[in-house]
Amino acid sequence: MNPVTDDPEDDGRPSKSQRKRDMTALQDIGAELVTLNPDQLAKIELPERLLEAIVEAQRLRSREGRRRQLQFIGKLMREIDPAPIRARLELWNGAAREGTAQQKLIERWRDRLLSEDDALTPFAAEYAGCDLQHLRSLITSVKRDREHNRTPKNYRELFRTIRDIVAAHNGEPAQSG
């Protein structure tokens, strides 16, 4: 049988296209590693040579130099198991998405509480046990501040208060700030 005409799946190796997709995926993981800060990089166990290549890529400003360095990082990634790295990155991305979703929820509640006079009732039903008097006071203060063009101090305080209520309802520790 002619090896050139044999079915490529018969030899047990992935096709050239599949190998190329795999290498691109590794290079994409490497590119994501380049965006991390030093604290995050320290939390991932990386071989010294790969870590040095990532730090070098972060330093580079030349587009072409950075592209070549990312290719080199992809090549180094072929020598290690990318599964733990991919898992850690997905965990961080998931946490970031959850944090963004929660922040948007808090902003929607703040906007609704300020724009609808009867919005405090569904908020109180959703988050039982919250301090309604404090919320009413903050809402009134924000509206008064807007009328007099004052700084948005109470607006930010309303956000923090809603954030703490939502966090307590979800069983999370209250954030400071």
pLDDT per residue as tens digits for the range 134-158 = 999 999 999 999 898 988 898 999 9
Task: Using the structure block, give the residue that is written with the tokens 């992935």.
Answer: 14
Phi, psi for residue 79 in degrees, rounded to 5:
-85, -10
| Domains detected in the chain | 15-80 (1.10.60.30), 99-169 (1.10.60.30)
What pLDDT digit, counting tens, does each position of 12-56 carry? 788 889 888 888 888 888 898 999 888 888 888 889 999 999 999
Integer CA distances (angstroms), 166 to 69, 72, 77, 95, in order: 44, 45, 41, 16
